[in-house]
Amino acid sequence: MNKIPIIGITTDYQEKVNSYSKYPWFALRRHYTECLEIFDCMPIILPLTKSLPDLDFLDGIVISGGDFDIDPSFYGQEITSEKVQTIPERTDFEMKLIDQFIPTNKPILGICGGCQLLNVYFGGSLIQDIQSNIEHEQPNPRDETSHEITFPKDSPLKKFTNNKITFINSAHHQGVDKLGNNLTVTGTAPDGIIEGFKHQSHYYCVGAQWHPEFLITDFDKNFIQDFVNHVKKNI
């Protein structure tokens, strides 16, 4: 009997009153779990904890997005935009999680804020507010595509689409500025914003600035399936 891949997904953390609860809460959109279940995986939700237990039972992890920003102090800057809102507890937890997983060579996928976190983890920096310089964030809802993504000639993302023009969704006010060490760009938006990257030597360590978990297009579906395939091959 083949082992079902177990994939951990980090959660958002909020203390906002008059939202889900008047007490602190964790949250995760079901798209993150459903896109993995479709490809016969067992998603495990990982709330942030003060101490990180041994998560060796996980076969891969997804660093999810959320309503927060990474503290610029992690990349040697001070906050320069009033739009920057940090959740230090979450960033600390996810940094420790990556610390634990990098040596295992198990697949790591960072989506949106998770993509930004991976870039910072590897020594990169972020644009603190894209809208201050260019109009990038889409007016469309996340379940609709917004703008084109273009690929360098050797990008592994090319194999996920047969279309001459590929579109993705977009929902982020920050983005990659200086690319982290040993990372290679795999996709960009027409305005130059980096939409994807991969680590040059890790078995599978990939950042996606868009939200492929919505599975809007065949490109999204093939991207997620490729992540799952890497998880399955590594078990």
Kindly name the residue from 136, 172, 211, 230 that is annotated as catalytic.
211
Residue 1 resides in a domain:
no
200: number of CA atoms within 13 Å, CB side? 8
213: annotated active-site residue? yes
DSSP string, 96-141: HHHHHHGGGT--EEEETHHHHHHHHHTT--EES-GGGTS--S-SS-
Backbone angles phi, psi at 158, to 5 degrees: -60, -35
Residue 72 resides in a domain:
yes
Residue 16 resides in a domain:
yes
Tokens of 130: 């894209």
Count structural domains, the chain.
1
Would you state the pLDDT for residue 136?
47
CB 12 within 8 A of CB 29: no
pTM comes to: 0.94
DSSP string, 19-66: SS-SS-EEE--HHHHHHHHTTT-EEEEE---SSPPP-TT-SEEEE---
Residues 190-225 as b/e (b if ≥16 CB within 10 A, e otherwise) read: eeebbbbbbbeebebbbbbbbbbbbbbbebbbbbbe
Kindly name the residue from 115, 195, 213, 230 that is annotated as catalytic.
213
Residue 137 resides in a domain:
yes
115: annotated active-site residue? no
Would you state the pLDDT for residue 139?
62
Nearest Cα residue to 162 out of 219, 205, 113, 117: 219
**CATH code of residue 227:** 3.40.50.880
Residue 219 resides in a domain:
yes
**Which domain, by its residues, includes 195?**
6-233
Residue 196 resides in a domain:
yes
Three-state SS at 166: strand
Would you state the pLDDT for residue 78?
92
Residue 104 resides in a domain:
yes
Would you state the pLDDT for residue 211?
96
Kindly name the residue from 35, 41, 112, 115 that is annotated as catalytic.
112
205: annotated active-site residue? no
Would you state the pLDDT for residue 143?
84
Q: What is the pLDDT along the chain (235 residues), one digit of tens a residue?
A: 578 999 999 999 988 766 788 889 999 999 999 999 999 999 999 999 988 989 999 999 999 998 889 999 999 999 988 888 899 999 999 999 999 999 999 999 999 999 999 999 999 999 988 665 655 455 667 788 989 999 999 999 999 999 888 999 987 678 899 999 999 999 999 989 999 999 999 999 999 999 999 999 999 999 999 999 999 999 9
Say how far apart CA 215 and CA 110 lie, in whole Å.
Answer: 16
Q: What is the four-CA torsion angle of 217, 223, 225, 229, rounded to 10 degrees? A: 170
Would you state the pLDDT for residue 137?
57
DSSP 3-state percent helix, strand, coil across the chain (nearest 5): 30, 25, 50
